[in-house]
Amino acid sequence: MLPEKTPFGPNLVAGALCALVMLAYASSFATLIFGGILAPSVNLGVWTAIIGSCATVVTLSFLSSFRFSLGGPDSNPSAILAIPAAAIAAEIVREPGAGAQLLPTVFLFLFGSAVLCGLLLYLFGRLQWGRYVRYIPHPVVGGFLAGTGYLLIAGAWKMLIGKNFSHTLAADLEAVPALGWVFAIGVGGALILATRISKHFLIIPAVLAAGVIGFHLTLLALGRPLEEARAAGLLLPPLAGGDWQTPFNQPLGEVLWDLLLAHGKDFAAMTLVVLVTILLNATSLDLATGKEADFNRELKALGIANVLGGLAGGLVSVNSFNRSLLNHRAGANSPWAARVCAGLVIGAAIFAPGAVALLPRPVLTGLVLYLGVSLLLNWLWDARRELPVSDYLTVLAILVIVAAFGIVPGVIMGIIIASLSFVVTFSLQSVVKQRFTTATRRSNVERPAAELAWLSEHGGRLHGFVLHGHIFFGTASSLLEEIRAVLGKGEALVIDFWLVQGIDASSVIVLRKLLRLAGEQNTQLVFTGIDDKLRARFAACGLPLEKTPARLFSDLDRGLEWAESQLLTSARPRITLQEALSLPDHADAEALAGYFTVIDIPAGQALFKRGDPSNALYILLWGQVSVYLHVSGSDYTKRLRGYGPGTIIGEMGFYGEAPRSADVEADIPSRAARLEIHRLKALEISRPDLAAQLHRFVINTLAARLRTSNEELRQML
């Protein structure tokens, strides 16, 4: 069955609407970057923004996980790019006769930033590193975005006035035609108010359209010609085909390469903000549309888009939440809406350059002002009730640093705060998943009731810790303090590393100290669950565990079993069958023992094998046996449980009349008493009272085993 065709008409409508908005955004961000000294070349800047937008939109239409995704130059990267672009321009014009070097150097900085940023984005996506960016603490992201909001407001001021903030704000504003600042503030204020009242997707296009129409009606009412308004800086200059700049039509001999290298730090800051912006916008689209985002796919798509855009002469670009949502809600049902949008935008630039020249600078300034104020409102006003005080202060601190010292110090402070936040957060989380003694957790060795009672009564003679997560300098010291609190209170200390994911050198120092303290307190250390990778890490840090006094076991159960056995050495004499049966009447015990057969089991010999008929049960008198499960089709064998003197073996299959479910082998030379099924039936006929006592003995043993398992489960929960 052929897939149902989707109508193409909605894509034309959505593409046309988005083309108008994309043209406005591209012109706004070009005006933001090409301000001040670069303002006379803003027509060239508009071309770079248009090329970046079209390259991004077309690439996303093929590669994005969202069929309706749009993008291009955006507020966050543009606000940061504007700073080094202005700084480069200022440094060049200070040198006499360096005018010819101005535009080639600035353009190579912009195009090079796009290409290098694209390569890094693609690398991040290719290596599946998108998830790591999401680990940046929320308040640090908020601080970056609030700082970007400030930079956008400062950029809007520069677009309007022609120079940076200064103490002469009022005088600077008086020098601007009233029509300029009235429409800039009016459009910006209208966008802020309208978007906070309604989230309708047509709000921004409608306000921008109203601003453009209102501006031209005002010019008409005032009788001011378009050329006069353009000469006053109120309209964009007309575009021309020759304005299209690429890395390949620049006079490379005029480029000041050392100046570009000096601003590499600004590129690093911009790349970090671009990464955060891409993932935030992808997450927002995921939530708003219900379409699942593939973050690494978005990074690769935008990486390719920026490389292609930079080589074609475009600005650094990202995916856009507002423009993509507009496209989606305007009816786009295929990637063709984005391609229509790109075609209309590039077509307008080539075939109708006069239309672009009708865009009023104050309206574009109002759009940038709105974007900046919105970020500050989101992170300074709205977030004050949502964030804890410490997180809110982090946002404020990064904002102040960005405003006072620039984006690079702000990013550095953000990284420092993120690192400290990580250390503090994880230091407050204990790496101890579980603490236990033999009173609360025991090995899987089945022991007689007397030994279990002894272990419960003397539980404080063994302490254990199950560790998890990463042990680093922030958690290692607190771990040592927890362990130090029980050192000297017992004879053995068991530490399980099975759930530990990594260690650093400081944790090795703590472990050395623990070994020394344990030696001083005559406490036997038992380390369990240390895999080859962790063992090699210890050795690389100068602590080969094999050369320490600690006993090493592959898993917690074996280590705990060994430690229990050491404690029970003095409390575990060999027992007789009569003692194991624990009957109150000695004569009854003697009579019942007569139905059993005593057998010796050499070490390594099987008591029974999986699949054997369950025709007998056993009571272990001395030694130790273990239950093993052999995985069919492989050589893997898992030890399920161990049994010590006085315990019952094979009773489940015996009473259930089912074949043996596992192998039981003697770990050491052992002795057991065997009761065969025909002997039990004879006992039930001749001495039903003794048979009842035997059944009660088995039931009590099973109940004690179940209580122990329940207690272990309770401790783990």
**DSSP secondary structure of 557-570:** HHHHHHHHHHHHGG
Mean pLDDT value across residues 511-537: 88
Residue 109 has pLDDT above 90, yes or no: yes
- CA gap 527, 497 in Å, rounded: 7
Q: What's the pLDDT at 166?
A: 58
Residue 617 has pLDDT above 90, yes or no: yes
Q: What's the pLDDT at 1?
A: 37
Q: What's the pLDDT at 716?
A: 59
Best-predicted range by mean pLDDT (308-322, 373-387, 529-543, 616-630): 308-322
pTM: 0.64
Residue 713 has pLDDT above 70, yes or no: no
- Of 242, 247, 239, the closest CA to residue 103 belongs to 247
- CA gap 209, 219 in Å, rounded: 16
Helical H segments across 176-225, by residue range: 178-197, 203-222
Tell me how far the alpha carbon of residue 541 is from its chain's centroid.
Answer: 28
Residue 172 has pLDDT above 70, yes or no: no
* 666 beta partners: 625
**Mean pLDDT lowest among 132-141, 422-431, 615-624, 698-707:** 422-431
Tokens in use for 36? Answer: 């001040």
Interval 556-589: pLDDT, tens: 988 998 888 888 765 655 667 777 777 778 888 8
Domains observed in the chain: 9-413 (no CATH), 432-571 (3.30.750.24), 577-716 (2.60.120.10)
- Of 646, 649, 645, 647, the closest CA to residue 623 belongs to 645
Mean pLDDT value across residues 71-96: 89
Q: What percent of the chain has pLDDT over 90?
A: 31
Element containing residue 468 per DSSP (H, E): strand 462-471
- Of 288, 274, 374, 273, the closest CA to residue 318 belongs to 274
Q: What's the pLDDT at 173?
A: 63
CB 265 within 8 A of CB 83: no
Burial class (CB in 10 A: 0-12, 13-18, 19+), 533: exposed
Mean pLDDT value across residues 465-484: 82
Residue 431 has pLDDT above 80, yes or no: yes
Angle between helices 321-329 and 264-289 (to 10 degrees): 30
- CA gap 518, 202 in Å, rounded: 71
Helical H segments across 3-74, by residue range: 9-33, 42-63
Q: What's the pLDDT at 81?
A: 92
* 235 beta partners: 360
Angle between helices 138-161 and 361-376 (to 10 degrees): 160
Residue 17 has pLDDT above 80, yes or no: yes
Mean pLDDT value across residues 323-344: 89
- Of 329, 586, 619, the closest CA to residue 448 belongs to 619
3-state helix, strand, coil in the chain (%, to 5): 65, 10, 25
- CA gap 461, 438 in Å, rounded: 8
Q: What's the pLDDT at 63?
A: 94
Residue 702 has pLDDT above 70, yes or no: yes
Name the residue with tokens 């102040």: 400
Q: What's the pLDDT at 573?
A: 55
Beta strands in 24-167 (DSSP E): 71-72
- CA gap 510, 482 in Å, rounded: 12
Distances (CA, A) of 220 to 183, 223, 549: 15, 5, 93
- Cα-Cα-Cα-Cα torsion 265, 270, 276, 280, nearest 10 degrees, comes to 170
Q: Report the mean per-residue pLDDT for the chain.
A: 86
- The model's confidence at residue 715, banded by pLDDT at 50, 70 and 90, is low
- CA gap 244, 43 in Å, rounded: 9
